[in-house]
Structure 1
């Protein structure tokens, strides 16, 4: 039987196996399995391979999640440290005027958005541990270079290059994570990784607070030391990440042959579709994905959340300083909302996985963010209330974002759809980062009414998009139970069936 006939899950005790240990069967979508039946099939599969599932999951968690956490911690650290450097005199030393600081923030997003889908396409041809560790080494070096720029043009050039090198990190990590975990296992792992953005935000403030003591050492200003020290740390960690970053499960270095085969078949059973790792996709295959509403709705939701999230990351320290703190104290106080966000991100993830629900938690945390933004906007004469609003804003936004990204990534069934879906969601969503850099203007200081009002509207838009995504999933789940849908799917070519991934009638969307 051809490998392209790999479409479903086993419904018998003697499944036909391919040469790579994968599961093959004739197309038969009339059989519907309960969650209990699917789990039983996985348990029988584990016994046949002699796999202890709990030990294997611990092994995967140890090898996969921590390196990605470190990778994105470094990535986000080098991305937002410019806000801390600004407090220490970057704008004054480079003679930035008007909106030049905002322009320097914006140019990062242009290549970051453009190269996301292409980067996820390339990662199938260059092993992830080589691809990602090389990019980390490069953007660490560029960050060091930012410490030595003397003009606005030099700053813009460095920000543009950082955008290119970081384009692959975020979507590629979500893409890789989605190939190791089932829908019910994923959120706490995704959020553990994503919570590193909160830790990076906290660390950026804490490092900047300590770096103030280096001001003038060797003739280098404190803002320059921010870039130099954090960039050097990133470059040093690149070597560690080269040795530890996990490749795709099918070619993973830390799994043995039986573990790779079991993991691949387990995820096929639980998802109801093949991973399609073996298929070499074309640009035409990529283009087909963009005709699907399920690729667009999560991207719109993420776009809505990105605007206030980057707005907060880039301007929170400045807002806190304008509450009456010195630059040094503002960097210190910017740490605590990030730490609060770190806790909420991980707690919510465990509860979300426990109840196997995404929408209620994404909506609830988005509402929290709206309340926080309203407090920062409305309490112009109450610094403590504004500061409390920073806690709610950071916690709500940075908890909601991994929920919507994980929700979409695990609802994409094949490698093709995971690759395109995660890259487009992150890439298109980051257009919001461009908006964020131009809604917090110096002339609107210290209230930033236009910026904060836009952020509140953006979160409302994100919530509406989440409801739209939920409704689309609900309708398709119901349609999959009809003979008309199954017949239409049967008419596809074998290759298209596999690339369709989650559109397989056996695949049940999570919401």
Structure 2
């Protein structure tokens, strides 16, 4: 990594964790152009005999599909309760008042609490073991939901699903961010995230077909929703054990030379070392929370989660109240998800092409606001409300991966990627708790309080995203100053490595 880092080995003798890492010493602004960085990557590839195009295809085929399947299953088992409710879950379990909303809410409590801890643990248990085991467990719990007989059993299952799913989403974003550079990432992140839309569509489609099983073997249609989808998840867990990618440094599908090239390539393009070798403590984790760059993306994601979960959990119910039967409502709930799937991937490709995140996140958010306003305003025009569902789903589920990917790739070291992605998603999912209580049965069929809250939440997300933009823009300018570089050089070597994106060489994307 000549031209970026100046190696000084003497300082590392007392710390074996840092022996294989390079200490950075900066005397003047060293940010270089993208062309210069790409030239250095090309030289590295030639020296190691790496065909970059073939390696990228290899990574894409070995990393992304398994994560797509994993999150498809995760989201499917998370939101299928809304489809089951249309088939009589609340009636058969004698749910009263807000008990259905409470059952939705309890999922988020462990989901939020355990996310940072889960990303911490994944450094000690290989990801393919950790994630495939969790997938198997939440599939089994989903089957168990098909046999609950009362409110208490439903709540217990939802709580356990929250525990087992806590690691899936942030861990996948964490892992993906260790394979791709800032300008390669968005279309891969969004391809994975678009499985959320496919899962929403599949949940409605499966529920539509499952209606034919109502009463078979004495099992109601809503029970079959959980049993069938949970069984599919458990079966796929065995496949995922062999296909989920571990961190690049220990990847099973890369050769030693490919692992070395990938690690050094990402260090060159980011301007900081990965710090994978450092075994961080909980104290190291705690230091990350003093940084505004950890909080602003979390607030932006929080604002999007409220309407996103509100839509995922209640869209089928809203569509039913437009005059459709329960079966037809499940069928019609599929199409907005499919529209969202297309837009997510198209916008991701364009975002990577222009190497910008904020403009596309804002445009997607405004699209969601228009859709929510149509659902709210067209009280007596079902077709306009239904059209609003298309814009709402497309806008929200396109904006979310843009926000998460933007923040994940702006975190430089393994420590900051781990904490940043987990906290953004964990804190953001507090919005899921709010979402479950703003669409109350008493407000049907308009759901004015819920929809107004959703619009306000998207506006809040827009403001947090703009604040994050100005924060990283200011830091990019500050890193060129001698004062910043001197202050960074005064940090202990371990802190400089863990600082990741605070490295003067690291240029934030916006």
TM-score range, shorter chain: over 0.9
What does residue 509 of structure 1 align with? 508
- Which digits, 9 at most, give the CA deviation of each residue in 1:419-471, with x for residues without a partner? 00000000000000000000000000000000000000000000000000001
2:8 paired with 1:10 = no
The secondary structure found in structure 2 opposite 1:184 is: coil
What does residue 166 of structure 1 align with? 165
- Which digits, 9 at most, give the CA deviation of each residue in 1:76-121, with x for residues without a partner? 0000000000000000000000000000000000000000000000
Separation of aligned partners in 2, 1:10 and 1:286: 31
Alignment of 1:143-292 (within 5 A): 143-292=142-291
Separation of aligned partners in 2, 1:403 and 1:72: 17
Gap change, CA 1:12 and 1:140, over 3 Å in 2: closer
Gap change, CA 1:21 and 1:486, over 3 Å in 2: closer
Deviation at 1:32, TM superposition (A): 2.8
Separation of aligned partners in 1, 2:93 and 2:267: 55
The secondary structure found in structure 2 opposite 1:280 is: coil
Deviation at 1:26, TM superposition (A): 5.0
Separation of aligned partners in 1, 2:442 and 2:208: 26
What does residue 485 of structure 1 align with? 484
Asked if the contact 1:22–1:265 (Cα under 8 Å) also holds between the matched residues in 2, the reply is no
Deviation at 1:250, TM superposition (A): 0.2
Deviation at 1:33, TM superposition (A): 1.5
Separation of aligned partners in 1, 2:112 and 2:362: 26
2:462 paired with 1:463 = yes
Deviation at 1:73, TM superposition (A): 0.1
Asked if the contact 1:10–1:23 (Cα under 8 Å) also holds between the matched residues in 2, the reply is no
What does residue 384 of structure 2 align with? 385
2:140 paired with 1:141 = yes
The secondary structure found in structure 2 opposite 1:372 is: helix
The secondary structure found in structure 1 opposite 2:185 is: helix
- Which digits, 9 at most, give the CA deviation of each residue in 1:347-374, with x for residues without a partner? 0000000000000000000000000000
The secondary structure found in structure 2 opposite 1:509 is: coil
The secondary structure found in structure 2 opposite 1:492 is: coil
What does residue 40 of structure 1 align with? 39
Deviation at 1:285, TM superposition (A): 0.3
Separation of aligned partners in 1, 2:239 and 2:374: 42
Separation of aligned partners in 2, 1:10 and 1:448: 60
Gap change, CA 1:459 and 1:29, over 3 Å in 2: farther
What does residue 6 of structure 1 align with? none
Separation of aligned partners in 1, 2:20 and 2:311: 46
| TM-score (norm: length of structure 1) | 0.97
| TM-score (norm: length of structure 2) | 0.97
What does residue 27 of structure 1 align with? 25
Separation of aligned partners in 1, 2:277 and 2:312: 40
- Which digits, 9 at most, give the CA deviation of each residue in 1:297-329, with x for residues without a partner? 000000000000000000000000000000000
Structure 1: tracts of 5 or more residues without a match = 1-8
Separation of aligned partners in 1, 2:94 and 2:419: 41
Gap change, CA 1:120 and 1:12, over 3 Å in 2: closer
What does residue 92 of structure 1 align with? 91
Asked if the contact 1:302–1:404 (Cα under 8 Å) also holds between the matched residues in 2, the reply is yes
Asked if the contact 2:413–2:501 (Cα under 8 Å) also holds between the matched residues in 1, the reply is yes
Asked if the contact 2:336–2:393 (Cα under 8 Å) also holds between the matched residues in 1, the reply is yes
What does residue 356 of structure 1 align with? 355
Gap change, CA 1:13 and 1:315, over 3 Å in 2: closer
Runs ≥4 residues deviating over 2 A: 12-26, 28-32
- Which digits, 9 at most, give the CA deviation of each residue in 1:150-185, with x for residues without a partner? 000000000000000000000000000000000000
Asked if the contact 1:22–1:264 (Cα under 8 Å) also holds between the matched residues in 2, the reply is no
Alignment of 1:383-422 (within 5 A): 383-422=382-421
What does residue 302 of structure 1 align with? 301
What does residue 128 of structure 1 align with? 127
Gap change, CA 1:465 and 1:57, over 3 Å in 2: same
Alignment of 1:311-322 (within 5 A): 311-322=310-321
RMSD in angstroms over aligned alpha carbons? Answer: 1.7
Structure 2: tracts of 5 or more residues without a match = none
Asked if the contact 1:480–1:505 (Cα under 8 Å) also holds between the matched residues in 2, the reply is yes
Separation of aligned partners in 2, 1:115 and 1:323: 38
Separation of aligned partners in 2, 1:155 and 1:13: 56
Deviation at 1:27, TM superposition (A): 1.3
Deviation at 1:24, TM superposition (A): 3.7
The secondary structure found in structure 2 opposite 1:247 is: coil
What does residue 368 of structure 2 align with? 369
2:491 paired with 1:499 = no
Question: Greater CA deviation, 15-24 or 71-80?
Answer: 15-24
Gap change, CA 1:490 and 1:401, over 3 Å in 2: same
Separation of aligned partners in 2, 1:305 and 1:299: 10
